[in-house]
Amino acid sequence: MDLENQIQSLLTTIEDGWCEKNGEMYAEIFADDVEFCGFTGKYLKGKKEIIEWHNDIFEGVYSNTILKITIERIQPISDDILTVDAGFEFLQKGGTYFAPGWALSHILMKKFSDGWKIIQIYNSVPYEPVR
């Protein structure tokens, strides 16, 4: 499997976790000491905080939403480090955008013995959609 398909498969885990409203599934591909910055500026350190925070928002404001992730760019830095820019679309069940509608995520991944893991993820709401 080529690198883009490997990474898309991993990001599908995030989508599935979001759609299932399951923080543990959502965070499955995050390293234990991951750094996470949400588009609101919310900073989380570690997989445990990501799981807890996402489980909270899944029960609240994002309870009726789905997530669609589209890879925009993959940039290998070395054999075991790469960056991924991806569009995250937030949709209400039924297909209409849910505020903010979309975000651009800059993801730093590291290849561990058990595969690629996210070690940093920074989300922003760009002025214009990526496409």
Predicted confidence (pLDDT) per residue in 10-23, tens digit: 999 999 999 999 99
Q: Does the pLDDT at position 4 exceed 80?
A: yes
CATH of 3-124, one of 3.10.450.50, 3.30.1330.120, 1.20.120.1200, 1.10.1040.10: 3.10.450.50
Q: Do 109 and 117 form a contact (C-beta atoms < 8 A)? A: yes
What is the reported pLDDT for 130? 54
Q: Which residues of 14-51 are buried (b: 16+ CB within 10 A; e: fewer)?
A: bbebbbebbbebbbbbbbeebbbbbbeeeebebbeebb
What is the reported pLDDT for 129? 56
Q: Does the pLDDT at position 85 exceed 90?
A: yes
pTM comes to 0.90
Q: Does the pLDDT at position 126 exceed 80?
A: no
Q: Do 106 and 88 form a contact (C-beta atoms < 8 A)? A: no
What is the reported pLDDT for 21? 97
Share of residues in the chain with pLDDT > 70 (%): 95
